[in-house]
């Protein structure tokens, strides 16, 4: 007789966007291990293996109970082959040899460290590794070779390594709102990314900016950025606006006006006393030192992404910038392969009917795609 768990296992849909993926799930020992294998594949630019492991991770995150045996994994999408071996080793012995080997591998460790610097991708990190660079000190001695972005990443490395808390994200939101409302009283500002999905911490804070009157958006973000800059609240930024051509050239990179920034977030007035009153016993010494230095300088560096979208594209941009990255990738793959539609942060194009499908909400986009609506907190794939 099929148990309810077996039914769930055998009926799990294969695309991530067809199921819920909550933030907290039941299989983190397995997903932690598989995520390391995914990252190692990513560092080796092995896209196929990277996607394979990432899909297995996302399946396990969707599973509403703890997997008990590797035998059970065979019913689950993307969990066969190599992944099944890993799952079996961990469920039976607690650890996977391959994962442990990767974790102690010098190149993996260096790649992890170097790609953790803002502005450094896999290819750059790989080249540096081949040149003998292993840590931040090695890098500081070759500073001339760095781009402005990378030099900034190195300069604020400690702050940027420290996760942004929800409380900090809300203070960033206040700063961004204050700046934008100065120039346009009716502008709409939405926090997107991981925080919209309910995460308690993030590597940055993401915002989507729109206005019912499109002309009000012209120059708006530029003005707000300049104002923040004049107050010393922007440490670095670069703007990207790609020419958005057509859906025929389906691309993952979207063309909205986007500012990638590093802000100087002033410490909150309560932060000082917080640290004195309750010493963070559980905070590692290094993190503690970082916190203290932030308090003495009165601010911390925070990565902030700001995106401007015309009002008609807002639901698509909201869906595109809420993430997670893997959820987005799966949505686009599902659209194209199952529905012959091309989805990005600007719109949805039906390649057979040759028309764009307008939407007023995220719900409508899911409806266009014939998918059950998945709320942001269930998009943590
Ligand atoms: P974290 O908490 O670590 O920041 P996150 O989910 O917010 O996690 P981000 O890298 O900030 O991750 O990206 C947020 C979302 O924005 C992602 O889902 C990604 O798909 C989307 N995104 C990021 N960069 C672009 C871009 N250039 N064009 C379109 N979408 C993007
Ligand atoms: Mn983010
Ligand atoms: Mn971001």
Domain CATH for 98:
1.10.150.110
In this prediction, residue 272 has a pLDDT band, given cuts at 50, 70 and 90, of low
Mean pLDDT of the region 175-201: 98
Q: Can you read off the two tokens belonging to residue 358?
A: 């307008």
Shared-domain flag, residues 150 and 160: no
| Percent of the chain that is helix, strand, coil (3-state, to 5) | 55, 15, 35
**Ligand 1 pocket at CB < 6 A:** 193-194, 199, 202-204, 206, 253-254, 320-321, 323-325, 328, 345
Tell me which of 303, 313, 318, 323 to substitute to probe ligand 1's pocket, judged by most ligand atoms within 8 Å of the beta carbon: 323
Are 200 and 286 in a shared domain? yes
298 near 267, Cβ under 8 Å?
A: yes
Considering only CA atoms, which of 5, 62, 4, 67 is closest in space to residue 30? 67
Q: Looking at the structure, do residues 110 and 259 belong to the same domain, yes or no?
A: no
Q: Are 320 and 254 in contact (CB under 8 A)?
A: yes
Separation CA 212–CA 210 (nearest Å):
7
pTM: 0.93
Given this model, what pLDDT does residue 273 score? Answer: 60
- Whether residue 309 sits in one domain with residue 188: yes
Same domain, 81 and 113: no
pLDDT at 47: 96
Q: Which of 206, 254, 274, 350 is catalytic?
A: 206
What is the pLDDT, as a whole number, of residue 30?
Answer: 98
Q: Contact, 70 vs 84, CB < 8 A? A: yes
Of all protein residues, whose CA lies closest to atom 25 belonging to ligand 1? Answer: 253
User: Are residues 94 and 138 located together in one domain of the fold?
Assistant: no
Does residue 323 contact residue 194 with C-beta atoms inside 8 Å?
A: yes
Asked if residue 56 lies in contact with residue 78, where contact means CB atoms within 8 angstroms, the answer is yes
Read off the CATH number of the domain in which 352 is found: 3.30.460.10
354 and 214 in one domain? Answer: yes
The tokens 């630019």 sit on which residue?
45
Q: 160 and 14: one domain? A: no
Kindly report, residue by residue over 299-342, the tens digit of the pLDDT.
999 999 999 999 999 999 999 999 999 999 999 999 999 999 99
Q: Is the predicted pLDDT of residue 149 greater than 60, yes or no?
A: yes
Mean pLDDT over residues 175-183, rounded? 98
Whole-number pLDDT of residue 283: 67
Specify whether the CB–CB gap between 197 and 322 falls below 8 A. Answer: yes
Task: Say how far apart CA 36 and CA 24 lie, in whole Å.
Answer: 19
Could you say which of 155, 185, 219 is where a domain stops?
Answer: 155
Answer yes or no: is pLDDT of 270 > 90.
no
Does residue 182 share a domain with residue 270? yes
Whether residue 184 sits in one domain with residue 82: no
Domain count, the chain: 3
pLDDT in tens, 197-253: 999 999 999 999 999 999 999 999 999 999 999 999 999 999 998 765 555 444 445
Residue 206 designated active-site = yes
Please tell me the distance between residue 318's alpha carbon and the centre of ligand 1 in angstroms: 11
Q: pLDDT confidence of 279, banded at 50, 70, 90?
A: low
**Atom from ligand 1 closest to the CA of residue 193:** 7
Q: Which of the listed residues 320, 326, 345, 346 should we mutate to test ligand 1's pocket, taking the one with most ligand atoms within 8 A of CB? A: 320
In this prediction, residue 44 carries a pLDDT of 97
CA dihedral 360, 363, 364, 368 (to 10 degrees): 150
Residue 290 has pLDDT above 90, yes or no: no
Domain end among 140, 155, 170: 155
CB distance 307 to 344 below 8 Å: no
Atom of ligand 1 nearest to the CA of 327: 18
Residue 305 bears catalytic tag: yes
Q: 120 with 208, same domain?
A: no
> Which is the catalytic residue, given 75, 138, 305, 350?
305
Do both 253 and 281 map to the same domain? yes
- Tell me the residue range of the domain where 171 lies: 156-381
pLDDT, tens digit (0-9, with 9 covering 90-100), for 71-130: 999 889 999 999 999 999 999 999 999 999 999 999 999 999 999 999 999 999 999 999
Taking residue 153's Cβ as centre, other Cβ atoms within 10 Å add up to: 21
* Helix segments in 211-351, DSSP class H: 220-230, 269-277, 285-297, 314-322, 325-339
pLDDT digits (tens, 9 = 90+) for 22-66: 999 999 999 999 999 999 999 999 999 999 999 999 999 999 999
Last residue of a domain, one of 155, 175, 197: 155
Q: What's the mean per-residue pLDDT of the chain?
A: 92
Dump pLDDT digits (tens) for 336-374: 999 999 999 999 999 999 999 999 999 999 999 999 999
Measured distance CA(30)–CA(88) in Å, rounded: 10
pLDDT at 67 over 80: yes
CATH classification at residue 115: 1.10.150.20
CA distance 169 to 157: 18
Q: Which ligand is nearest to the CA of 322?
A: 1
Q: Check pLDDT > 90 for residue 297.
A: no
- Ligand 3 (ion): residues with CB under 5 Å are 204, 206, 305
Report the distance separating Cα 343 and Cα 250, nearest Å.
8
What's residue 209's pLDDT? 98
pLDDT tier for residue 4 given thresholds of 50, 70 and 90: confident
What would the pLDDT profile of 126-146 be if each residue is shown by its tens digit? 999 999 999 999 998 886 689
- Judge residue 121's burial from the number of C-beta atoms within 10 Å of its C-beta, 0-12 exposed, 13-18 middle, 19 or more buried: exposed
């Amino acid at each position: 007789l099929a148990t309810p768990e077996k039914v769930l296992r055998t009926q799990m849909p294969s695309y991530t966007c067809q199921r819920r993926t909550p933030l907290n799930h039941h299989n983190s020992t397995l997903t932690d291990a598989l995520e390391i294998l995914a990252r190692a594949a990513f560092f080796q630019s092995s896209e196929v293996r990277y996607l394979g492991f990432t899909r297995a991770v996302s399946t396990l995150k969707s599973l509403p109970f703890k997997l008990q045996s590797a035998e059970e994994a065979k019913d689950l999408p993307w969990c066969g082959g190599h992944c099944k071996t890993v799952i079996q080793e961990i469920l039976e012995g607690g650890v996977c040899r391959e994962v442990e080997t990767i974790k102690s591998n010098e190149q993996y460790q260096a790649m992890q460290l170097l790609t953790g610097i803002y502005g450094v991708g896999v290819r750059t990190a790989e080249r540096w590794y081949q040149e003998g660079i292993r840590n931040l000190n090695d890098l500081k001695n070759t500073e001339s070779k760095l781009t402005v972005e990378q030099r900034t990443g190195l300069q604020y490395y400690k702050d940027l390594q420290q996760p942004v808390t929800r409380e900090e994200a809300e203070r960033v939101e206040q700063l961004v709102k204050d700046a934008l409302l100065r120039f346009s009283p009716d502008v709409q500002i939405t926090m997107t990314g991981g925080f919209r999905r309910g995460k308690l911490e993030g590597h940055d804070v993401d915002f989507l900016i729109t206005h019912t009157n499109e002309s009000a958006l012209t120059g708006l973000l530029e003005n707000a950025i300049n104002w923040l800059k004049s107050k010393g609240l922007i440490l670095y930024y670069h703007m990207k606006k790609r020419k958005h051509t057509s859906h025929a050239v389906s691309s993952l990179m979207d063309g909205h006006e986007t500012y990638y920034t590093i802000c100087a977030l002033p410490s909150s007035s309560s932060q000082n006393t917080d640290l004195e009153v309750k010493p963070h016993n559980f905070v590692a010494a290094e993190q503690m030192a970082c916190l203290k230095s932030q308090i003495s300088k009165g601010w911390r560096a925070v990565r902030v992404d700001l995106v401007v979208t015309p009002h008609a594209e807002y639901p698509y941009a909201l869906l595109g910038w809420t993430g997670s990255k893997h959820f987005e990738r799966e949505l686009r793959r599902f659209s194209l392969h199952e529905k012959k539609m091309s989805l990005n942060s600007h719109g949805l194009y039906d390649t057979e009917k040759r028309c764009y499908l307008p939407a007023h909400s995220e719900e409508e986009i899911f409806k266009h795609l014939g998918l059950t609506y998945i709320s942001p907190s269930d998009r943590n794939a």
